[in-house]
A and B are shown apart, each in its own frame.
Chain A
Amino acid sequence: MKDLSRHINIRWLKPPIFLVCLAPLAHLVWMGFHDELGANPVEYITHSTGTWTLVGLCATLSITPLRRILKQNWLIRLRRMFGLFAFFYVSLHFTTWVWLYSGFDVHAMIADVYKRPFITAGFTAFVLLIPLAATSTSGMIRRLGGRRWQMLHNLIYISAIAGVTHYYWLVKSDETVPLRFAAVVAVLLGYRAIRHALQRKQQAAAAKRSRESVYSA
């Protein structure tokens, strides 16, 4: 497939994608006003914002594989928005837990993070995303330098794994949906691992070739 970068005006593309990313929140608000959140709205809001966080993380992580496989370099310019939306929904999720679920009971929350593995995992996933959101601006990329910035932003891999683990550990018996998210994350991270391994192998082979050519000369 040809790279469409020259034909696509990213400025036109971003607003509609932005609106779609807001749709889950709009839907929640709409449901709230129409008494559609069910008997336990706190639970519904928690599950919904949590689910959309994982969707956002998966979307962010799928940009690089898609960009490479489809050879569409312009896709990279959407990655920050998806990442920030993942952070937006995880912030709503965290706020729901702090405010609506725990009622600002700090002792209960500390105990939960400390004692409950699924909350520990979820909390970890959230905390790891904070520095990524904070260093998402172009200015911060410049200040950190591309290499260091990339190192830091590899934290999203750990965050995604922790997020999926959080979901898997909290369900009582029906693991279908958490396992689906786990499968998606496994594919997206597996792609990177395999590519990394192949590159290593190629580099080693190239190094060997160059050594041999030195000896044969």
Chain B
Amino acid sequence: MLIKKPSDIPYSEVTPNSAYMNRRKFLAGVAVATGAVTLAARSVSDWFESARVFADEAKLGPLAKSPFSTDEPPTPAKDVESYNNYYEFGTGKNDPSRNATKFVTSPWSVSVEGEVNKPRNFDIEQLRKLAPLEERIYRHRCVEAWSIVVPWIGYPFSVLAKLVDPKPSAKFVAFQSYYDIKQMPLGPRAGIALPYVEGLRIDEAMNPLALLTFGMYGETLPNQDGAPVRMVLPWKYGFKSIKSIVKVRFTQNMPPTTWNLANAHEYGFYSNVNPQVDHPRWSQATERRLDGSFFGKRIKTLMFNGYGDQVASMYNGMDLRKYY
């Protein structure tokens, strides 16, 4: 069954002209229209309520502070939890928070395989305990020119990589998201090939900023934000930070990535935040920072999202216009 997303008032709820043909009925018609608007609005707030009821985020701690954290104020948690791109659960921004409430994330295992000496299958609890958890407050810049500041919780991906001992032939790391049409009935309508896949060059994956992430705002990840485990790559556009990971594969060749497959002209393998290279359809020079103020504020986008000191050296000599 397809769950329709109620963006605004559905056209079907607008009182039809025929209701007004008879002028005696027009007052009743007005009442119906008002009722429809009120209902639509109320059901929106109901969904937010249900998202809170169903989500079972658990407190995570103790958390080490990180020197990589920004001192910019974090975006309100409710915004980060209700404004998501997670197409498996619908393409509207507030679809995932409504449709992912019953997503089963336990039991969960992550297979780490490919060009490694010690391939392993990790249970999620096991994986979470591989290293002390840190809180890292990162800027997160979406390719759609909005940005948020999020206190993520996790540890560097390099910890996991070292444990499985990559062979010298491992040049890239491929990631794959969970996909099950029974749990994600809107998947076929996403317009992108699923399961979602992403990839990094191995030096990018080993960069200390690359965070294997289990939580945010002091708690485990909400389903719509990529529970139970995701990547966070703050110098790249948000879609590179793959959610709900089930497979990590070390490879010799550059792996395919979902948005690049969908539209190679618009989304490259690297997808580093770069204000000088526009998306073909919109400018990347500025972004709207969703900071909890009514309209957010429009700010200049920084090269590598302001993380140049940590990552710029990995791209020395590369034409970033060509390798966008």
Contact = CB atoms under 8 A, between A and B. Distances in A.
Contacts of B14: 20, 23
Interface stretch (A112-120, A130-138, A143-151): A112-120
29 contacts: A16-B27, A16-B29, A17-B17, A19-B33, A20-B14, A20-B29, A20-B33, A23-B9, A23-B14, A23-B34, A27-B40, A31-B41, A38-B79, A39-B79, A39-B80, A39-B82, A40-B288, A40-B296, A43-B93, A43-B146, A47-B7, A48-B7, A116-B282, A170-B281, A172-B144, A173-B87, A173-B191, A174-B87, A174-B189
Interface stretch (A7-15, A189-197, A204-212): A7-15
A82 to B, nearest CB: 10
Interface stretch (B18-26, B50-58, B129-137): B18-26
A27 B41 contact: yes
Given A38-B82, A39-B78, 4 more contacts: A4-B21, A34-B45, A173-B87, A173-B190
Contacts of B87: 173-174
Contacts of A169: 281
Interface residues of A, number: 45
A24 B281 CA distance: 28
B262 A173 contact: yes
A87 B57 CA distance: 46
Name the residue among B8, B44, B192 with the largest chain A CB count within 10 angstroms. B8
B93 A39 contact: yes
Given A20-B33, A173-B192, A108 B45 contact: no
Interface string B133-156: 000000000001010100000000
Given A173-B190, A174-B91, A39 B9 contact: no
Contacts, number: 111
Contacts of A43: 93, 146
Contacts of A170: 281
B161 to A, nearest CB: 31
B83 interface: yes
Contacts of B146: 40, 43
B41 A30 contact: yes
Contacts of A106: none
Interface of B: 7-9, 11, 14-15, 17, 20-21, 23, 26-27, 29-30, 33-34, 37, 40-41, 44-45, 75, 78-80, 82-83, 87, 91, 93-94, 144, 146, 148, 189-192, 262, 278, 281-283, 285-286, 288, 290, 294-296, 298
Contact of B83 (A19, A39, A112): A39
Name the residue among B17, B29, B296 with the largest chain A CB count within 10 angstroms. B17
Contacts of A24: 8-9
A29 to B, nearest CB: 11
Given A39-B75, A173-B262, A27 B190 contact: no
A118 B189 CA distance: 22
A161 interface: no
